[in-house]
C-alpha cells in the first residue's frame, strides 16, 4: 500500500522540537511505537504527557526521543503535507456540482473535488459520507472528533442516489446514526435544486433530520449555484422570488416549532434566499451563534451588526482631517451584498462629510450573471467593469475574492495586475464590519 512520508517542513522557534535538535527534512516515523496514518493520529497521540517519538534524520540515522510535556502540548512541528496523507477525491457526479460547471483552462487545483472527512474537521468542508469506510467512522468516534459537516441534500435514499449519481449514497446516510449515537456534533447542508429536492422533499428531509437533534446542531438550506457552463449537465432551473418565499415559509415554520423544545432554530436559510425573496434578514438571535457562516448563513446579518458596533464606537469623531483617511475611494462587491454595502456607505458619508465613496456591484460575466456572491468574482471582470469609472485613491475588495493566503483571484489575475491596469491602489479587507469601517477611514 502507498504510505505517505511525514517530512518536517518547519520547526517553530522556541518549541520542544527545536530544543531536541529536530530539523526540517527529518521524517516522523512513530509515536509510542505506533505508525502515523495522518494528522488525526498525530494530534491524538500528542495528547499524552509522556511520549516516545521515533524520527529519521536526513542522513538516515534514527533517533528515539523520550519527551515529557504538558497534556495536549504540541512539539512545534509543521509537515510538508498538512494532512499527513493523500487527499481523498470525490467519486460522486452530483447534479449540482459547481466544479463541473467551470470552464476549461483554469488552474488544475480548481478542478479537484475533495470529499475528505478530515478536511471537514480541519477546514469546515462538507462531506457526503460516500467516501468514508466503517473504519473512518469508528476512528472519528474513537477520537471523538467534532464537529463534522455533512452534505445531506435529501434524506430520501433513492433521491440521494440520483442526485449524487452514486448507488451507495442512500446507504451512506446510515453512518449518521452511528455518529449520533456516539454523541458526535454535526452540522448539515442541503443544496436545494428546483423541482428535485424542494417542496415536499425538503419537508421530509427536515423532519427526518430533527431526529438527530441536539447532536446535529444545524442544517443550512442553500440554493444551487448555476453557472453558464452547463452544457450536457442535468437540466436545473434558477429559483424565482416566489420560490424563495415558499422556501423561507417552510424554514421559518420549522424554526418556530423546534426552538421552544431545543433552544435551537436548527434549520437556516442562506442569505441568498432573503435577498431573492425581498424579505428582511432575520435578527441575530435567529442564527444560533452563526454556526454556518461559511455556508453564507448569517454573513450579511453579522456584517451589519459589526458595522453598527463600529459606528457606535466612533461616536464623537465626526470631524475627520484630510490626512486621517482617504477622502475618495471605491468599494467593490458582488450583486448579493451590494444594497447592504450601499447603505453602510451612506451612513459613513453622513457621519464623515469629508468622505466620497463609490460602491460598485460587479456582474459575474465569467461564470454567468446568476452567480452573485463576491467570493466567485474574477480579476478580469473587476478590471473590465471598473475601467473608466471614478475610483478615487483606493479600491477596497473583500478578502474572499482571493485564494486563501495568496494574492491572486480565481482566474490567476494578481493584485499587482489589477493595480497596474486600473492605476489605483487595491486594499483587501477582512469580511468584518469593524474592518470595513477602519479600512474606509484608512486606519
Q: Are residues 339 and 281 in the same domain?
A: no
pLDDT of residue 318: 56
Distances (CA, A) of 302 to 149, 267, 289, 342: 21, 18, 10, 16
Please list, in sequence order, all residues whose beta carbon lies within 8 angstroms of the beta carbon of residue 166, skipping any fewer than 6 positions away: 91, 92, 93, 128, 130
pTM of the complete model: 0.85
- Beta bridge partner(s), residue 317: none
H or E, element range at 28: strand 27-31
Q: Are residues 323 and 291 in the same domain?
A: no
- Beta bridge partner(s), residue 7: 27
Domain end, chosen from 258, 273, 295, is at: 295
pLDDT of residue 121: 54
Measured in whole angstroms, how far is the alpha carbon of residue 402 from the centre of its chain? 13
Environment class of residue 307 by beta-carbon count within 10 Å: exposed (0-12), middle (13-18) or buried (19+)?
buried
pLDDT of residue 155: 97
Q: Which range marks the domain in which residue 53 is found? A: 6-79
Contact 21, 6 (CB under 8 A): no
Q: Are residues 356 and 244 in the same domain?
A: no
pLDDT of residue 127: 85
Contact 375, 410 (CB under 8 A): no
Residue 1 located in a structural domain = no
What is the spatial distance between Cα 240 and Cα 344, in angstroms, rounded to a whole number? 27
Q: Are residues 117 and 250 in the same domain?
A: yes
- Beta bridge partner(s), residue 53: 31, 65
Q: Are residues 27 and 132 in the same domain?
A: no
pLDDT of residue 321: 42
- Beta bridge partner(s), residue 334: 362
Q: Widest CA span of the chain, in angstroms?
A: 69
Domain count, the chain: 3
| pLDDT one digit per residue (tens) for the chain, 443 residues | 345 688 999 999 999 999 999 999 999 999 999 888 878 788 888 888 999 999 999 899 999 999 999 987 889 999 887 766 666 677 889 999 998 998 988 887 777 666 555 655 555 678 888 888 888 888 889 888 888 889 999 999 999 999 999 999 999 999 999 999 999 999 999 999 999 999 999 999 999 999 999 999 999 999 999 999 999 999 999 999 999 999 999 999 999 999 999 999 999 999 999 999 999 999 999 999 999 998 899 999 999 999 999 999 987 665 544 445 458 999 999 999 999 999 999 999 999 998 999 999 999 999 999 999 999 999 999 999 999 999 999 999 999 999 777 888 999 999 999 999 999 999 999 889 999 999 999 87
Amino acid at each position: 500500500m502507498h504510505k505517505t512520508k511525514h517530512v518536517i517542513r518547519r520547526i517553530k522557534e522556541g518549541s520542544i522540537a527545536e530544543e531536541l535538535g529536530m530539523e526540517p527534512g527529518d521524517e516522523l516515523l512513530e509515536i509510542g511505537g505506533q505508525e502515523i496514518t495522518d494528522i488525526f493520529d498525530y494530534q491524538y497521540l500528542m495528547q499524552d504527557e509522556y511520549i516516545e517519538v521515533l524520527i529519521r534524520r536526513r542522513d538516515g540515522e534514527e533517533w528515539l526521543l523520550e519527551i515529557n510535556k504538558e497534556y495536549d502540548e504540541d512539539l512545534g512541528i509543521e509537515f510538508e503535507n498538512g494532512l499527513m496523507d493523500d487527499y481523498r477525491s470525490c467519486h460522486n457526479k452530483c447534479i449540482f456540482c459547481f466544479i463541473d460547471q467551470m470552464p476549461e483552462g483554469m488552474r488544475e487545483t480548481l478542478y479537484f473535488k475533495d470529499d475528505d472527512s478530515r478536511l471537514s474537521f480541519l477546514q469546515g468542508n462538507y462531506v457526503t459520507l460516500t467516501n468514508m469506510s466503517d473504519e473512518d467512522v469508528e476512528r472519528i468516534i474513537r477520537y471523538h472528533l467534532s464537529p463534522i459537516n455533512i452534505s445531506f441534500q435529501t434524506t430520501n435514499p433513492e433521491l440521494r442516489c440520483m442526485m449524487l449519481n452514486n448507488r451507495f449514497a442512500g446507504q451512506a446516510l446510515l453512518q449518521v446514526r452511528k455518529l449520533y449515537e456516539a454523541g458526535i456534533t454535526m452540522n448539515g447542508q442541503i443544496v436545494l435544486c428546483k423541482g428535485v429536492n424542494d417542496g415536499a422533499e425538503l419537508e421530509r428531509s427536515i423532519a427526518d433530520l430533527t431526529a438527530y437533534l441536539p447532536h446535529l446542531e444545524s442544517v443550512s438550506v442553500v440554493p444551487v449555484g448555476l453557472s453558464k457552463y452547463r452544457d450536457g449537465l442535468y437540466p436545473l432551473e434558477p429559483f424565482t422570488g416566489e420560490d424563495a418565499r415558499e422556501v423561507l415559509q417552510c424554514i421559518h415554520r420549522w424554526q418556530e416549532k423546534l426552538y421552544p423544545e431545543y433552544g435551537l432554530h436548527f434549520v437556516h436559510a442562506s442569505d441568498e434566499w432573503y435577498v431573492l425573496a425581498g424579505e428582511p434578514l432575520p435578527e441575530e438571535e435567529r442564527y444560533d451563534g452563526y454556526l454556518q457562516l461559511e455556508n453564507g448563513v448569517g454573513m450579511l446579518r453579522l456584517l451589519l451588526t459589526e458595522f453598527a458596533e463600529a459606528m457606535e464606537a466612533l461616536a464623537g469623531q465626526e470631524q475627520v482631517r484630510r490626512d486621517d483617511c482617504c477622502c475618495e475611494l471605491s468599494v467593490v462587491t458582488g450583486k448579493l451584498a451590494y444594497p447592504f454595502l450601499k447603505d453602510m456607505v451612506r451612513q459613513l458619508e453622513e457621519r464623515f462629510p469629508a468622505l466620497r465613496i463609490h460602491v460598485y456591484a460587479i456582474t459575474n460575466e465569467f461564470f454567468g450573471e446568476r452567480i452573485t456572491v463576491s467570493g466567485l468574482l474574477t480579476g478580469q471582470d473587476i478590471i473590465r467593469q471598473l475601467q473608466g469609472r471614478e475610483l478615487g485613491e483606493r479600491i477596497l475588495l473583500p478578502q474572499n475574492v482571493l485564494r486563501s493566503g495568496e494574492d491572486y483571484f480565481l482566474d490567476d489575475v494578481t493584485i499587482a495586475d489589477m493595480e497596474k491596469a486600473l492605476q489605483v491602489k487595491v486594499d483587501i479587507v477582512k469580511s468584518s464590519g469593524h474592518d470595513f469601517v477602519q479600512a474606509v477611514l484608512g486606519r
